[in-house]
Amino acid sequence: MDVRPFKIHVPEDVLEDLRHRLARTRWPDEIPGTGWEYGANMAYMKELAEYWRTGFDWRAQEEALNAFSHFRADIDGLGIHFIHERGKGPDPLPIVVTHGWPGLFLEELNIIPLLTDPESHGGDPADSFDVVVPSLPGYGFSDSPTQRGVNHSRIAHLWTQIMTEGLGYRRFCAYGSDWGASVTAHIGYNFPEQVMGIHMTSASGPQPYLGPGARELSDRERAFIEERDEWQRDEGGYNHLQRTKPQTLSYGLNDSPVGLAAWIVDRIRTWGKGESDEEKRRRYTWDEVLTNVTIFWAAQNMGASCRLYYETAQSPWDLKQGERIQVPTAVAILAQDQTHAPREWGERSFNVQRWTELPRGGHFPAWEEPQLLAEDLRAFFRQFRA
């Protein structure tokens, strides 16, 4: 496997073209006074677009990103970008950290120093990690797949190859949120000899067996299923479109920077922690949001990222009777995330050894509550440090 250092650099002509397109945006109409009820709010998007065009400093963000150690690995003709930061403790534990959609590796940056250098952040140096944060295929600076079938199971294989063949770790730990939770579950299922334990922010991935002979659903499980179905009806339009017609969507997202930004911003606003728009705006700064959007724009891979929904829908993961993921598992539920599965639901699919209900945080835990998440990761994986 060819692993080589990588430096982020977006060509100036790409940035100039972006500013030109922003200046020539053809705005849609809007029903007055509807706020965000119909989707991304017009006044907000106009203000954000103007800041993106005239105030946002991509080069400053690029320089900050390049302070981390970036690499690219060529695996079977597919280039995968990842960050690899070495721990500063006496015996760092290797961990692969996987982001979700519409996030990127940026989601995980706040947690990296807390895991690599816990002593500098109020922790025990014995709890340090070697942290590897890959970009999903078709996200960020990873290549977009050119063939069918790059789903969560395939990504789990890629990550295990990077950790073992590329970086030389005999065994490692895994953590993920959103899509990253499902990838992490697949690592636990497919590679129990290589992964010591898995940590996720949802009991996500496989559909547990609920047929004849299965334990009867509890009241909390029934309530969770109803809540999940209701959320899909009210907020799952993006999901249905991306899992059925991602190519149709990709033309607009690849051609209009404001269209791309609206598609991402609406998800962050809906899923992220914060009761009011002002609180959300303080928590998810425009520089952070626009760094995320600019990477998708420059790499021209938002359409490819959406295709992961289609590939996932084509390969549903249903556990059989008596089957579950046996590696030690931790789940950290964040108080303000979308839906909350009860522990008994998670135990149908996973060997749950730690179940934490964190008092704060939404759908982007490493971005929103890195300290809480880091403490839970340290606590769970401490048992594997013998």
- pLDDT grade for 282, boundaries at 50, 70 and 90: low
- pLDDT grade for 344, boundaries at 50, 70 and 90: very high
Q: Is the pLDDT of residue 281 over 90?
A: no
Tokens of 65: 């990103």
C-alpha span between 185 and 374 (Å, rounded): 19
C-alpha span between 15 and 19 (Å, rounded): 6
Sign of the torsion angle spanned by Cα atoms 239, 272, 185, 110 = positive
Lowest mean pLDDT among 76-90, 148-162, 259-273: 259-273
Residue type for position 5:
P
| Structure-model confidence comparison of residues 278 and 263, the more confident one | 263
Query: Does the domain formed by 2-384 have CATH 3.30.43.10?
Result: no
- pLDDT grade for 249, boundaries at 50, 70 and 90: very high
209 is catalytic: no
Q: What is the 3-state secondary structure (H, E, C) of 256-311?
A: CHHHHHHHHHHHHHHHCCCCCHHHHHHHCCHHHHHHHHHHHHHHCCHHHHHHHHHH
363 is catalytic: yes
C-alpha span between 199 and 50 (Å, rounded): 40
pLDDT (average), residues 7-13: 98
Listed by start position, the domains of the chain span 2-384
- pLDDT grade for 277, boundaries at 50, 70 and 90: low
Strand 78-85 with 350-358, pairing: unpaired
pLDDT tens profile 296-339: 999 999 999 999 999 999 999 999 999 999 999 999 999 888 87
Q: Is the pLDDT of residue 271 over 70?
A: yes
pLDDT (average), residues 239-250: 96
178 is catalytic: yes
pLDDT tens profile 101-127: 999 999 999 999 999 999 999 999 999
Residue tagged active-site, from 143, 178, 266, 337 = 178
Q: Report the chain's mean pLDDT, rounded to a whole number.
A: 95
Q: Is the pLDDT of residue 156 over 70?
A: yes
pLDDT tens profile 126-139: 999 999 999 999 99
Q: Is the pLDDT of residue 275 over 70?
A: no
Residue tagged active-site, from 309, 337, 340, 376 = 309
pLDDT (average), residues 34-47: 95
C-alpha span between 262 and 363 (Å, rounded): 18
C-alpha span between 242 and 320 (Å, rounded): 27
Please tell me the pTM assigned to this model. 0.96
Residue tagged active-site, from 99, 152, 340, 363 = 363
pLDDT tens profile 176-221: 999 999 999 999 999 999 999 999 999 988 999 999 999 999 999 9
Say if CB 329 and CB 351 are below 8 A apart: yes
